[in-house]
Amino acid sequence: MRVAFVAEETAQHEETGATRRLRRTAELLAGRGHDALVFCAPWWDGDHETFEREGVTYRAVTTEPPGEVPSGRFALSLPGALRRAKPDVIHAAAVPKHVLAAKTASKLARAPLVVDWYEPPPAAAVTASKSLRMAARVPDEVIAPSETVKTRVRELGASADDVRVIPNGIDVDAVRDARVVEGADIVYSRRLDEDANLESLLLALAELRDKGWHAVVVGDGPERDRYERQAADLRIDDRVEFTGTQPVEKRIPVFRGAHVYVQTARREAFPTDLLRALACGCAGVVEYHVESSAHELVEREERTFRTTSEQELTDALRSAADLPQMTENEEFARYDHRSVLERYLDCYRDVRDSFGFF
């Protein structure tokens, strides 16, 4: 199968949840022998039109990096570039101008359009943005990483039958093969920005200062200094270790050695590190927030707790401490990259079978 991805900005430009997901999907497809092409702004040196990495062909639609040229030029150039590529399926990131341009290309190339809507649109945009509503309605299929995002896309006008949930995948073999790094009883990992809400965990830990625990916070960001000051103000800074950003190959061993993983972020399209930690055997404690999908991973799972208040979070940490230690949990093997890739392939086959030109 020949899949044309549309994303002006890629993970090589900036690592975000959406760009990592697109890169991972394209590389998994290429690894299975499919043709994966990414139509994007250039991120490589030189003036050549294409660049290949990990089996994926990146094709420059414009000559300037994103941000240095209005996205309108990228959108105007898309239909012709996609038509020449002759894809079986067009898979676009949820940027309204690019989605609408990809829809035009879909008709020209006689290939169905799938849109991967990773980040939920802000609540105000649901009623305010005509372009967002159009972008939700014109694809042949919309993919969302969670039911939370699916609900928001449906609020934009997408039909329920045309929105399919495909979660992020994880490398289950990497979990099984990783060593165990002991020392962390409780782990939190995320970019420390305004949505991190680490203060909820720090306040709960302060309530448990009479217990024997050591917490590790993995991640960096603009709010890190504030959280470190808060830990000091609560007199728990000697028991809360801030490690900064760590690659996934270093995070997994810490997860395998930890007892509890805590997710308190206010906004999360899909909590991939929570999934990794659950696969590593951690008990999961999730604070519910309407803009976060984290609760979906723990609603029907053992060894997990969903909380809605500071007191519930504290009580959940107490209860989680009583659970037996584990270093892996096979219940989450269903999220392996290979299984998730099959769900993408099923989506592509379904839209091709129902597309009017086939």
Q: What is the DSSP string of 96-116?
A: HHHHHHHHHHHHHHT--EEEE
Q: What is the pLDDT of residues 200-249, one digit of tens each?
A: 999 999 999 999 999 999 999 999 999 999 999 999 999 999 999 999 99
Whether 165 and 216 map to the same domain: the answer is: no
pLDDT band for position 126 (cuts 50, 70, 90) = low
**Same domain as 208, residue 103:** no
Whether the pTM exceeds 0.85: the reply is: yes
pLDDT at site 358? 41
Tell me: do 297 and 231 sit in the same domain.
yes
Distance CA 354, CA 218 (A): 45
**pLDDT of 125 above 90:** no
Number of domains in the chain: 2
**DSSP summary character for residue 330:** G
Q: What is the pLDDT of residue 128?
A: 58
Residue pair 253/181 in contact by the 8 Å Cβ criterion: yes
**Which residues contact residue 154 at a Cβ distance below 8 angstroms, ignoring those fewer than 6 apart?**
160, 163
| CATH code, domain carrying 240 | 3.40.50.2000
Evaluate if residue 100 carries a pLDDT over 90.
yes
Check whether residue 341 and residue 307 sit in a common domain.
Answer: no
Structural domain for 98, as ranges? 2-169+337-354
Can you tell me the distance from the alpha carbon of 33 to that of 73, in angstroms, rounded to the nearest whole number? 32
Residues 74 and 21 reside in one and the same domain: yes
Claim to verify: residue 190 and residue 302 sit in the same structural domain = yes
Residue 121 has pLDDT above 80, yes or no: no
Tell me the C-alpha to C-alpha distance, in Å, between residue 200 and each of 207, 312, 313. 11, 11, 8
Question: 167, 134, 129, 127: which is closest to 148 by C-alpha?
Answer: 167
The proportion of the chain whose per-residue pLDDT surpasses 70, expressed as a percent, equals 96
Return d(Cα 67, Cα 69) in angstroms, integer: 6
Q: Do 327 and 228 belong to one domain?
A: yes
Residue 270 and residue 181 in one domain: yes
**Residue 220, amino acid:** D
